[in-house]
Structure 1
Amino acid sequence: MPVRNNVIPWAPAALVAISLLTTSCASHDDSASAPQAPASASAPHGYVEGAQEKAEQQSRLLLNDPVTGDTRVLDLITGKTHKVSRTSGTTELTTDGRFGYFHTAGSTRVLDSGAWMVDHGDHVHYYSAAIRDVGRVPGGPGTRVRSDAAVTAVTDEDGRARIYRRAALEKGKVGSARPLPGTHAGVVVPYAEHLLGVTDDGKVAVYDREGRRTASPDARCEEVRGDAVTRRGVVLGCADGALLVREDDGRFTAEKIPYGSDVPETERATAFRHRPGSDTLTAPAGDGAVWVLDVTERTWTRVRTGSVVSANTAGEGSVLIVLETDGAVHGYDIATGKQVSRTKPLLTGAPETGGDGDAGPVIEVDRSRAYLNDSKGKRVYEIDYNDNLRIARTFDLDIEPALMVETGR
């Protein structure tokens, strides 16, 4: 597959990863090409059966054309694409960092991207393995999937949740599901060895992994829409702002992060995007602005922009990255609200603002790059957001990538 303006984008991440592996995992043989040893008492730290541990992040893009069903996996290390079986009629494509979930009218297809990371807090492990189909789980449009290291929660559009064991998915099988009692107003989120949900009357509910109710914080989230797992806890979007649910030594607490003023319903944050591992969240604030929620500082900032198609940020002092209806990507200083950088128009045809889950261009962000899919142009742009939104690479494709997610993060 042609790659234009080729650079080496992963050097900083590689250096950090190598440092972490050598300082925190000194007993591990981190040779990228060496086969892993059999699982045993002498297996190296971080060993995962059937996978190779790498010294750098193994990011991949999952790409889908809902009309033709053509699906590709783009390896961002090698620049090569891999064909996988088709999925037609995809209404939404989501990911939990390893698995891609292709939501269709009758069910949700699960694809193992073969790239993931394990965060141990003081160090990180990166893995790669074969790409493979896992199967399908019940649930059509409106189905939401959230995961942690042990379980995957699938919540259908009626608020019924089923819990799958992560170990089965990792072995290439969907496995049996355990239903969670009752229905929920929003998505069920695995967190801190528990499951968080909001009941139909707006109350926060906490379950253990067997589905039993445990002590829950006395908190409410009215009209819950949008969620994100951060290092500070789980963020839920509510009518009056956000609710941060945290766990400390087995005890769950909830803290409201209000907007600070009345916000019209059309300008509420209802779908969060952020870099995995970051505590800075973004969400459209109507057509001409973006909300930035700093979870650490418990503050909202409303940045005025042009008409918003998609937005994201790496957080931690990085620019707010906004794709606007002029087809260009704009960078804004979050603190001042000023535009500080801008690309030329990148998309083939004028993009339209879309609703949650609509097929359309999105901005995926990792630790060093951002990615933008141009469906009509059959390409993906790699953008260096630390260098005035410089176009680092352009990946030409043989499909229209209307849907895109990034894994391996």
Structure 2
Amino acid sequence: MLVRRNVIPWAPAALVAVSLISTSCAGRNDDVSTPKSTASASAPHGYVEGAQEKAEQQSRLLLNDPGTGDTRVLDLITGKAQEVSRKPGTAQLTTDGRFGYFHTSGGTHVLDGGAWTVDHGDHVHYYRAAIRDVGRLPGGLGTRVRSDAAVTAVTDEDGRARIYRRAGLEKGKAGSPRTLPGTHPGAVVPHEEHLLGVTEDGKVLVYDREGKRAASPDARCEDPRGDAVTRRGVVLGCADGALLVREADGTFTAEKIPYGSDVSEAERATAFRHRPGSDTLTAPAGDRAVWVLDVTERTWTRVRTGPVVSANTAGEGSVLIVLETDGSLHGYDISTGKQVTRTKLLLTGASAAGTGGNAGPVIEVDRSRAYLNDPKGRRVYEIDYNDNLRVARTFDLDIEPALMVETGR
């Protein structure tokens, strides 16, 4: 049973989306989200077979209870939670914006969340469709999945990377993959019609989508851990900072963004979180601080906080949002490092401290709201980060949502 409280409509997002679609799509018939064969000559621009185009972003939360395997999809437009097939043994839950990847010791189960955004650069399209199971991909715990509009790269715990056609997943079948040569200690990342990887000795490589070597930048990334795709390029977390890999006119270049001082192993950034579309990344910097990487300015900022459970930011002048072990959300001004706001107690006990591994409270951020899961409280909070971290809505659930990702973005 799910209960909504303090419901606030999303009218501004809808108005913006209507304006973008009505002013930017006239007279165009290209489609980057599906093969051309799925659209008829009379179909509107951005048409996706079997999906409904909407005027606003169709955000959904995928939620899993690792103890029972129970899984729910929470529609943030309707406020209703839908029960889907159980995913027992899930230790990590990731997403590429549409599909949820439930990582278990026996493989990775794929769920089509039925909501996604197609970004054409000057305008976007929002879609919703039926939620459905896609099947299982090989690779146990530690498997990393990264996608773009055309392919999905699955790098297993041994560093082998398999490339799947995105169209197959969209039709409900994984299909047969193509395997890249060699092994990669970090995730293989699709970007600008190519695939980016790092070899065991730290050399950055670029492949075409057929798996053939392409011209690569003369750059290295030692001990790669963590990655993010931004509008400025792909960010790779390296032992001495970050490496920004960019493409222009078919040529890939790489630029190092060093920490600027010696950083211990325990304090380096190894997992990035950010709002999709933002060029501001966050990562824990040890137990009591958070790194903020401004990709545009090529700068790192270390914000001292209390004991960190999770952190994220919308970027572009927004506060750094930090869940600390006291069970409250704290907002920090990134430029000064000062705390500027704090919520009441939201999580208690084990929920505030996390449950270990990859399960526990996380902060998901989109264009207007942030979301915080409370496993022991069996709820999810919607946070208005533009209004002093005000709790806008509370969703009560019938499971312990220890794993959470947002789709539809």
TM-score range, shorter chain: over 0.9
The amino acid of 1:75's aligned partner reads D
Which residue pairs with 1:300 in the alignment? 300
- What is the TM-score when the length of structure 2 is the normalising length? 0.96
The amino acid of 1:120's aligned partner reads H
Q: Does 1:319 align with 2:308?
A: no
Which residue pairs with 1:47 in the alignment? 47
Which residue pairs with 1:35 in the alignment? none
TM superposition shift of 1:401: 0.2
Corresponding residue SS for 2:235: strand
The runs of 5 or more residues in structure 1 that have no matched partner are 29-37
Query: Cα deviations across residues 311-363 of structure 1 (Å, max 9, x unaligned)?
Result: 000001000000000000000000011111110110132422677x5100000
Corresponding residue SS for 1:46: coil
Query: Does the aligned pair in 2 maintain the 1:384–1:390 contact within 8 Å?
Result: yes
Which residue pairs with 1:16 in the alignment? 16
Structure 1's 298 and 196: CA in aligned 2 closer, same or farther, altered over 3 A?
same
> 2-side partners of 1:43 and 1:210: how far apart?
30
TM superposition shift of 1:136: 0.2
Corresponding residue SS for 1:169: helix
TM superposition shift of 1:27: 5.8
Query: Does the aligned pair in 2 maintain the 1:27–1:44 contact within 8 Å?
Result: no
User: Alignment RMSD, CA only?
Assistant: 1.2
The amino acid of 1:6's aligned partner reads V
Query: Cα deviations across residues 160-216 of structure 1 (Å, max 9, x unaligned)?
Result: 000000000000111111111110121100000000000000000000001111110
Which residue pairs with 1:34 in the alignment? none
Which residue pairs with 1:360 in the alignment? 360
Runs of 4+ in 1 over 6 A off after TM superposition: none
TM superposition shift of 1:298: 0.2
The amino acid of 1:213's aligned partner reads R
The amino acid of 1:193's aligned partner reads E
> 2-side partners of 1:162 and 1:39: how far apart?
28
Q: How does 1:8-407 map to 2 (within 5 A)?
A: 8=9, 10-26=10-26, 39-350=39-350, 351-352=352-353, 358-407=358-407
> 2-side partners of 1:6 and 1:349: how far apart?
27
Query: Does the aligned pair in 1 maintain the 2:354–2:361 contact within 8 Å?
Result: no
Query: Cα deviations across residues 127-176 of structure 1 (Å, max 9, x unaligned)?
Result: 00000000000011000000000000000011000000000000011111
> 2-side partners of 1:227 and 1:20: how far apart?
30
Corresponding residue SS for 1:269: coil
Which residue pairs with 1:4 in the alignment? 5
Structure 1's 370 and 304: CA in aligned 2 closer, same or farther, altered over 3 A?
same
> 1-side partners of 2:191 and 2:355: how far apart?
30
> 1-side partners of 2:255 and 2:100: how far apart?
31
TM superposition shift of 1:16: 1.2
> 1-side partners of 2:62 and 2:40: how far apart?
34
The amino acid of 1:79's aligned partner reads G
- What is the TM-score when the length of structure 1 is the normalising length? 0.96
> 2-side partners of 1:155 and 1:354: how far apart?
26
Query: Does the aligned pair in 2 maintain the 1:307–1:353 contact within 8 Å?
Result: no
> 1-side partners of 2:288 and 2:332: how far apart?
13
> 1-side partners of 2:24 and 2:134: how far apart?
33
The amino acid of 1:70's aligned partner reads D
TM superposition shift of 1:229: 0.3
Q: What is the identity percentage for the equivalent residue pairs of Structure 1 and Structure 2?
A: 85
> 2-side partners of 1:300 and 1:16: how far apart?
32
Query: Cα deviations across residues 204-242 of structure 1 (Å, max 9, x unaligned)?
Result: 000000111111000000011000000000000001100
> 1-side partners of 2:22 and 2:184: how far apart?
45
The amino acid of 2:224's aligned partner reads V
Question: Aligned pair count?
Answer: 398
Corresponding residue SS for 2:349: coil
Corresponding residue SS for 1:17: helix
Query: Cα deviations across residues 261-309 of structure 1 (Å, max 9, x unaligned)?
Result: 0011100000000000000000000000000000000000000000000
TM superposition shift of 1:15: 1.6
Query: Does the aligned pair in 1 maintain the 2:14–2:55 contact within 8 Å?
Result: yes
TM superposition shift of 1:89: 1.0
TM superposition shift of 1:14: 1.2
The runs of 5 or more residues in structure 2 that have no matched partner are 29-37
